[in-house]
Amino acid sequence: MAKKHVKVAVGVIIQNRNIFVSKRSEHQHQGGLWEFPGGKVEAGESVTDALNRELKEEVNIDVHSSDAFMIIEHDYGDKHVCLDIHLVNDFSGEPKGLEGQPCKWVSIEQLHELAFPTANLEIVAKLQAEF
């Protein structure tokens, strides 16, 4: 059986040196861990369009612009993910969990204190090194 490959648009939402994170539902892959909001890029959809759609559906913000930050390829054994990560600091609306997921703002300095999926640890490290 072929391993599932998933391309994911990820938004690192930044405001005043704080990052908006949400907690994955227990029934999801990597459930119970904190994450940067985003979701699967659908067939025929650009990463930017997927990011804008996912952040509106998931955390209720309208993205006005975003900047490419990094790309991470990670193999979880049961699934291979390609995370296309963008910094989002130009948006409107107040981020909140529209799917019942816990969400919060965390200072860049405190990000390493949260439990993230393994693939997200590189994002935390780069944010803490660059900001």
For the stretch 58-84, pLDDT in tens is 999 999 999 999 999 999 888 899 999
Q: Is 35 annotated as a binding residue?
A: yes
Q: Is 36 annotated as a binding residue?
A: yes
Alpha helices (H) along the chain: 47-59, 121-130
Q: What sign for the dihedral angle of Cα 93, 51, 39, 18? A: negative
**pLDDT at residue 27, rounded to an integer:** 77
Q: Is 120 annotated as a binding residue?
A: yes
Per the CB < 8 A criterion, the answer to whether 59 and 20 are in contact is yes
pTM beyond 0.75: yes
Domains of the chain and CATH, by start:
4-130 (3.90.79.10)
**pLDDT at residue 3, rounded to an integer:** 82
Mean pLDDT of all residues in the chain?
A: 94
Q: Is 102 annotated as a binding residue?
A: no
Q: Is 24 annotated as a binding residue?
A: yes
Q: What sign for the dihedral angle of Cα 99, 69, 15, 45? A: negative
For the stretch 27-62, pLDDT in tens is 777 778 999 999 999 999 999 999 999 999 999 999
